[in-house]
């Protein structure tokens, strides 16, 4: 039994207010509580483009859970940022016909934060914890029996009167999201019945995502314009939607543009220093540092992070996955190395 230091008294009752977003699965309620960026999110499996295998696996589990009248098993979603982990959690809630409670691990600082969330859950509801690798140890230990046995073990009283009180919880689904699955402790990882990686999106799926977003924003884009945004969005829908909005800004300022074409996309994205492969200034800075200062590598991650003034975990989980995916960077046992394709892209092949 986990021994935890959370205490519940009347004066100190769990108050998740402000630390949690409560989202109803029905679209009308969602619009009321979600931000503007969220209005482009798909809300059901049918509208969710790409991630075919993930959807297939989750659809089966959702259908089975609904058929048995049970809560969906706990789900861990991992992968680089912007690929749709939060969106998928909302889709799951919608498909299950339950409310989603959204929070993020850094907001669960005190034991009573997670206690409050768990105690307020209604049967079969979905609790989404973003950045779950950052969960404080006490919160993590409270989650173990909650996930496994639907039981909350609370320490009540002080000194001689201290004892553990167990509270039964309703069946619920924890959806954890992380960019760093490797940073999760194995006891926590093992308690997820489903553990799924989100992959970078294929070009044709990204093009469809841009078309869908353009339609929702009431914009008219040529197929080539959608394709150009798809090519330059780092295989990431969140970035595709962001680039689309920057293109819209340029079109608005120019005025008189009924249809946005590839040339306008190119001009707008040049302005934002997003190159033809989707690399931004920080990607190029990393590659340039390796090439200019170290002849292309190998260089250790910590050296790169110190030189660029970046956090090494961010470089590792946010910047590098895309550079590796486009084949511009390799991780080797001796450090990071720029590939030949990376050198060609930066026009520095001659320096080898």
The interface with ligand ADE within residues 38-67 (CB under 6 A) comprises 40-42, 47-50
DSSP string computed for 236-256: -HHHHHHHHHHHHHHHHHH--
The terminus-to-terminus CA distance of the chain in angstroms comes to: 59
Could you confirm whether 85 is annotated as catalytic?
yes
Residue 237 contacts ligand ADE per CB under 6 A: yes
Residue 75 contacts ligand ADE per CB under 6 A: no
Could you confirm whether 113 is annotated as catalytic?
no
Question: Shortest Cβ distance from residue 26 to ligand ADE (Å)?
Answer: 19
Q: Which of 49/127 has CB closer to ligand ADE? A: 49
The answer to whether the CB of 254 falls within 8 A of the CB of 294 is: no
Question: Shortest Cβ distance from residue 189 to ligand ADE (Å)?
Answer: 25
Per-residue binding letters, 78-97, with ligand ADE (x by CB under 6 A) = ------x--x----------
**Long-range CB pairs of 6-12, under 8 A, 24+ apart, other chains included:** 6/111, 6/112, 6/115, 6/138, 6/142, 6/154, 6/155, 7/112, 7/154, 7/155, 7/156, 7/157, 7/158, 8/112, 8/115, 8/154, 8/156, 12/112
Question: Shortest Cβ distance from residue 212 to ligand ADE (Å)?
Answer: 5
Q: Which of 39/164 has CB closer to ligand ADE? A: 39
The neighbouring-strand residues paired with 130 are 104
Comparing CA positions, the residue from 206, 224, 267 lying closest to residue 84 is: 206
Residue 104 contacts ligand ADE per CB under 6 A: no
The neighbouring-strand residues paired with 164 are 155
Could you confirm whether 249 is annotated as catalytic?
no
Which residue among 130, 153, 205, 283 is the active-site one? 130
Question: Shortest Cβ distance from residue 38 to ligand ADE (Å)?
Answer: 10
Which chain residues interact with ligand ADE by CB under 6 A?
Answer: 40-42, 47-50, 84, 87, 209, 212, 237
Where in the sequence numbering do the catalytic residues fall? 85-86, 130, 179, 238
């Amino acid at each position: 039994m986990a021994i935890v230091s959370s205490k519940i008294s009347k004066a100190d009752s769990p108050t998740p207010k402000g630390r949690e977003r409560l989202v109803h699965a029905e679209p009308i309620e969602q619009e009321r509580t979600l931000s503007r960026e969220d209005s482009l999110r798909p809300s059901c499996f049918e509208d969710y483009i790409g991630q075919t295998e993930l959807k297939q696996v989750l659809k089966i589990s959702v259908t089975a859970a609904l058929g048995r009248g049970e809560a969906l098993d706990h789900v861990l979603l991992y992968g680089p940022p912007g690929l749709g982990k939060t969106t998928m959690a909302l889709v799951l809630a919608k498909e299950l016909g339950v409310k989603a409670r959204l929070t993020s691990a850094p907001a669960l600082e005190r034991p009573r934060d997670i206690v409050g969330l768990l105690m307020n859950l209604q049967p079969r509801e979905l609790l989404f914890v973003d950045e779950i690798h950052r969960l404080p140890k006490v919160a993590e230990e409270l989650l173990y029996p909650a996930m496994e046995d639907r039981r909350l073990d609370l320490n009540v009283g002080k000194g001689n009167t201290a004892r553990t009180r167990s509270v039964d919880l309703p069946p619920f689904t924890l959806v954890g999201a992380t960019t760093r699955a490797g940073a999760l402790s194995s006891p926590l990882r093992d308690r997820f019945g489903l553990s799924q990686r989100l992959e970078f999106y294929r070009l044709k799926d990204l093009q469809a995502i841009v078309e869908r977003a353009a339609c929702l924003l009431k914009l008219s884009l040529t197929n080539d314009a959608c394709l150009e945004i798809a090519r330059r969005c780092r295989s990431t829908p969140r970035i595709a939607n962001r680039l689309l909005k920057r293109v819209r800004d340029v079109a608005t300022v120019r005025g008189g543009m009924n249809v946005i074409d590839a040339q306008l996309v190119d001009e707008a994205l040049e302005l934002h220093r997003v190159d033809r492969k989707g690399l931004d200034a920080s990607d190029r800075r990393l590659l340039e540092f390796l090439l200019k200062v170290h002849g292309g590598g190998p260089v250790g991650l910590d050296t790169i992070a110190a030189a660029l003034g970046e956090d090494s975990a961010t470089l590792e989980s946010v910047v590098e996955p895309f550079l590796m995916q486009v084949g511009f960077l390799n991780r080797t046992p001796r450090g990071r190395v720029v590939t030949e394709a990376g050198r060609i892209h930066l026009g520095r092949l001659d320096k080898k």
